[in-house]
Each structure stands twice: as C-alpha cells, then as structure tokens.
Amino acid sequence: MTQVRASENRRIANHALMAHRFDWSAQGQRFLLVLLLLLFAIKAFVPAWSSLNTDFANYYLAARLYRQGYPLERVYDWVWFQRQWDHTGNEHRLVSYQPLTHFSALMVAPWALDPALKAKRIWLLLNLIFLLLIAILLARCTDLGWRRVLLLIFLAFFPLRSNFAYGQMHVLVLLLLTVAAFLYLKNRPFASGIALALAAALKIYPLLFGGLFLLRRQWRAAWGLLLGVAATALLSIQLFGIEACRVYVREVLPWALRSQTIDPYDVGWGSLSAMFLRLFVAEPELNPSPVAHLPWLYALLYPLTVSLILVAFLWAICCKAPDPERRNLEWASYLFLLMLLSSQPASYHLVALILPAVLITGYLLQRGRTTTAATLVVLYVLACGSYTRFCPSSPSGWKTVLCFPRLLFMLIYAGVLFSLLTDSLGKGQRNKIRSWSSAFALVAFLVLFGSGFTLQMRRFRGQFDNYCMRVLNEAGSALTAEPVVKADSMLFTALVPRFLPSIPDTYSVREFTHSSITSFAVGGDWFHPAVGKAADIAWAEMITKGKSRIVRFNPRLPVNGAADFEVEVEDAEQPVASADGEWLLFIREVQGRNSLWLRHLGNPGAGDRQIAEANYDVREAAFFPDDRIAFSSRHNGRFRLFAVDTDSGGIKEMPAPGCSARYPAASGDGEWLAFSCEQTGTWQLHAMNLRTRSQTQLTDADCNSVSPAWTSDSKSLIYASDCGRGLGLTALAKLSVVR
C-alpha cells in the first residue's frame, strides 16, 4: 500500500513539474491577457459599438418585421427583404436572411423597435455577459483556472472580432453549447440535450450531437435533444406561423444542408465543400476559372473526404466503452469535427472552437501532456487566424488552394486529435478494434460515401444545362432577376457587389443590348423595371424612406440625378406596363400583404383603381395582350393564378394550372402563359397553351427557375435561375418553348 501511494505521489509530482515547464509565469500570463483584452477592446468592441454592419441588420430587420406583424415567410426573398430595410430609413447596406432560422430574429426582438444602432449596442453588452458566463462554466469544467481559460477565449481574436463587428449570434450559440457540455460532464444528460436543442433553434449543427448520443447509447441525452427540438418546432409554429416554418423547412433548409446558400464558391468559407467546388465546378459568373468543370469529381471527392473523416472520428470516439475521464475529450472532439465538416463556416462561426480548445487543453495538462497541449493551442490560434491577404485577388485553377490555409490547420488539428483518441486505447481494445469494430466502421463508411455520391450526382442533374443559355455573364455578379424584354434590348434588376467597404452594394435596374450594359440607379436601390410600346419610356421601383415609388425614365439617356426621372406613382411597388403603354399595374403593401392597383396612363385624372384587395396578398402580376390581367395570390399556403377583366374588374381563379403557381407571364401572341410551379421545394418553369389548357414543364433541375419573360416573337422565354448558384442568387437564361 505504501509503495502504491509513493508511486502515485511521484506521478503527480512529475505531472506538476511538466505542467510547470509548459506553463507561463503568472506575470507573463497576466501581461498576455491584458494585451489580448486591449486588442479586443480597441480593434473589435469599439468599432462594433460605433457602426452598424450587415449581419446585425439582418437579425434586427426580421425582428422588427415580426414585432410589426409582417409575415415572416417572405424574409428569404432577397429583393423583398432589401425593400423592407430601405423603408426603415437606416443607413443603406445590403441585407439578406439566407439561411437563418426565425428564432435568430427572436433574440433581438425586445429591442427591434429601438433605433438599429441602439439595439446593436444592447446586443453587444449582452454578448459580453455571455462571454463572462462561458468563462465561468469553462473554469468549472476544467482545472485550468480563470486566467488560462480567458487566454484561450481571447486567443480566438479574429472570430470574436467578426462576431462583435457583425452583431452575430455565435457567442450565444457558444454559451448554449458550453451549458450543454457542462451539464453533460456533470451527469445531467437530459438537460444537456435540451440545451443543445435550444442551440439548434439558432444554428442547425448542434442538432447533429444526436448522432453521438445514439452511437454512445446515451438515451437520456438523445431524448432530451429530441423533446427539445419538438418543443422548439411547436413554439416556432405558434410564434411565426405554419407557412413561415413550411417555407424554411421545404425551400431553405435543403439548400443549407447541401452547401448552396449565399455564394457556395466563396473561398472565404475555408471549407472542404468550397475548395472542391472552386476547383472542379464552374459557374460563368461566380467561378469562371476552375481547374476543370468536373462535377462528378466533386461528387466523388467531397463525400469521400467527409465520410472518411466522420467515420474515423466516430470510430475513435466510440470504440472504447464510456469513460468519465475521456468525456471532455470526446465532447470536444465531436464539436471540432462538426466545425471541420461544416460547409460554409464564416470567421464568426469559429468562436465555437473556444469550447473544444479549453476542454482539450485542460484534459492534456491534467495528464501532463504539455507538448501536445502546446501544439494544439498553436494550431487553434492558426485555425482562428485571418488569411484573406494571402489569397489572390482573382483565384483561379490550382492557385485557389492558396486561399485555404485555415482548412489546412484544421486538418492538422484533426490529425493530432485523432491520435489522442486512439492513444488512450489499451492493447486488448486495439485487438478488439481489428475485428468487429473496424468491420462496422468500414460498412458505415461505404454506406455514407455511396449515399453521398448518389445524392450529389442527383443534385447536379440538370444544374448546369442553362450555362450555355445564359443571356449575359458579368464576372462577380451576385444576382440578376426580373427581366423584361423590349424589341432590341432587355431590362432587369441586378446586384453586382462592389467589393469596397466605402461603397455600399446597390440594386440597380440595368439595360442589356448586344454591345453594352447600362445601369440606372440614383439615390438608392432600384427594382422591377417595366416597359411599354414607346422605346424612350420605362418605369422602375425606386426605394425611399418609409415607402417605394414608381419612377419614369428614358432608358436611352443616362440617369444621374433627380432631374433625369419623374415620379409616376407614389407609394407603389413592382410596376408592370401593358403592351400599348396605356395601363400601369402596381402593388401597394400593407404590413407585408399586397393589394393590386391599376392606373390609366392616358387619363391620369381618373385616379388609381384597386383590382385586388390586400387579403389576396398579390405577389406578381402581368398583362395579357388584350389588357386582361393575371396575378398570383397565396391562399391557405398555396399559390394560385387569377384572371381579371380590366373593364368589369371581376376576379376569377384560373382552372389551371393545378400546382402552387407564381410568376405569370403571357406571350405577346396571346396563346401561351408561362409560370413557375413549386415541386418538392423548388420552383420549375411551365408553359400552358391558353386554348387547350395543355401544360409543358420546361425545367426540372433541383433548383429554382422563376420570373419568366417572353421574347417579342413569343417563341422563347428569358427567366431567372439559381441553378449552380446560391439560393435566390439568380442569373438570366433563355430557352425555347416547344409548340
């Protein structure tokens, strides 16, 4: 007994000596911590306090709309969401709600009716409190002590700076993950699952902890997660409505799960998905110069890499029986794995790495593995770094790999972590692994890889067919939509990022001819062009504080100021002109629900006539050649097409099509009606013969094809498609209609 006790004392003394060699002096720790805190205050908190950046504007606007009673199913529409921001009168900037959950907006809802900058400052103060709570919990989870926990937190300087600058939600997500880890390590698995469900209501990836619970047969934690998700889903329906939840689950979430929200080719994501897409999948505007356009190679390499890493880590975590001494390491490793395999992790997402960094460092120092701990801390700092300056301005071909140093450091970190997980296995366990455990892992790998490859190939089917039919290609163009065709040109709405912080991104109306592109935008965002018979007259929606107005301008002349256009209609959106230029349709919005109005341009004194009340919630409208009107309206979660006689004003639902239909467009010869049908969460282009009511489906890829416009000969359609791009980030393409 005395020998055992002496041996244990020597082991503890050796570990303490090694920890002392690794550890900095107390004075050095204090100096570095003060330096990091000053750097954070000067470079992160103070700039964030004085400016309103895009991301917080996204949350703030959605929360404000919610507080004002707007339907939140429309927040995922790029143009509609931008219009609402412009109406607030805040500083002009680009906003988007892709692919955020509705609960993300709820977090700032209490201050959403305050001025935007004041609301952000309240949110920043709350984030400081969140960081303090995180530090308290992490200090209680490990033996590192306050000083080293704070050092590890603020060594993630760049992710924290991004999170505060943009007013992001990820510090709150980190707090919920830390609470879940604390409860898990304190043997309260059911409550841990509940905390993870709350985190998943803000960002989806904590939901994937359910896989770890199931493999570990931790049923109480799995039940907590399942019940928590069910409760948040019911609460979401209660708070936001079934239609808003349906749109998110059916039309947004699938795109998020397959890495196609925002710009999937952006090297700033630093992910495996972005790298393989950039190398092997071309897109004429967003990725014009890959190594080669080989989608099948992406479909092979990406699932292969993800499946290999995922199965290897799960095998290393689960091949050993549950061990209280390894729980910190296993939890941290799984969270790191989720961040490594995330398809679109921005810098601010990486604040989640703070939790595994603290848990793993504490685990290693407790066992005297100071060199390994120091190595992983260095890799953690490198993974949290900023490397935009090392990326070529226009990366192409194999040079693109230079833009992914963060991914390299994450992979090296993963390799060291994997060795830690397997080093703790005894000889008997290794022999056991060589038999049934390895066989099970191999089967799991083959199943995951095979299903991943199949799903990717199915996703790519038809995605690239419209490349050869693109109407125009402008490098870096984020969005082109709402086309309208003239005899010798085309007008459309466009968003082309300027990539300069001093110049805000602006939506503009543009005209495309065979030789040039002309832009029309003065004083803010311009949307939804309209044309009639006269070549020198066009209309567009111009956004002003509190409302939109329809302006008339001459597309043959430059628009440089207020003198170059005239206000046609106040408080009006989405103009549509009849073919003879005598009538103008437009929409007036009341709390997100649209009424349809008509103006006789030849007799302005007659006043505006309401065609459909706000309870129809009109989304799009079009003229037939005989001046009858077609419009789309949402009723009971389904869109229908209606026809209106201009003289009598009678509204009749069209007997066909039978699908949920939007974006009507009548051909100039009056024989065809084009529209988009929703099919399994995507919108597909259809054409219907108005005499026979026979329908032809024109597109079928796993992406959206919307906003059709007929060419002057009524034989072809120009439409907006996000195939091969991000959700809603459409490009214009042309296709012929078979008659």
Task: Tell whether the model's pLDDT for residue 712 goes beyond 70.
Answer: yes
Task: Tell whether the model's pLDDT for residue 651 goes beyond 70.
Answer: yes
Domain ranges of the chain: 465-736
Please check whether residue 725 is in contact with residue 731, taking contact to mean a CB–CB distance below 8 angstroms.
yes
pLDDT confidence tier of residue 317, bands split at 50, 70 and 90: confident
Q: How many CB atoms lie within 10 A of CB 643?
A: 17
pLDDT confidence tier of residue 523, bands split at 50, 70 and 90: confident
Residue pointed to by tokens 């961040």: 339
pLDDT confidence tier of residue 350, bands split at 50, 70 and 90: very high
Please check whether residue 727 is in contact with residue 462, taking contact to mean a CB–CB distance below 8 angstroms.
no
User: For residue 260, what are its two tokens?
Assistant: 């196609």
Predicted local distance difference test score (pLDDT) of residue 304: 96
pLDDT confidence tier of residue 500, bands split at 50, 70 and 90: very low
- What is the secondary structure of 665-701 as a DSSP string? EE-TTSSEEEEEEEETTEEEEEEEETTT--EEE---S
pLDDT confidence tier of residue 18, bands split at 50, 70 and 90: very low
CATH superfamily of 465-736: TolB, C-terminal domain (2.120.10.30)
Q: Which of 625, 271, 624, 626 is nearest to 641 (CA)?
A: 624
Task: Tell whether the model's pLDDT for residue 215 goes beyond 70.
Answer: yes
- Percent of the chain past pLDDT 90, that is, above it, reads 59
Task: Tell whether the model's pLDDT for residue 43 goes beyond 90.
Answer: yes
Predicted local distance difference test score (pLDDT) of residue 723: 92
Q: pTM for this structure? A: 0.91
Task: Tell whether the model's pLDDT for residue 200 goes beyond 60.
Answer: yes
185 CB-side CA count, 13 A: 22
Predicted local distance difference test score (pLDDT) of residue 431: 54
Predicted local distance difference test score (pLDDT) of residue 498: 60
Task: Tell whether the model's pLDDT for residue 17 goes beyond 70.
Answer: no
- Percent of the chain past pLDDT 70, that is, above it, reads 92
* CA gap 668, 714 in Å, rounded: 6
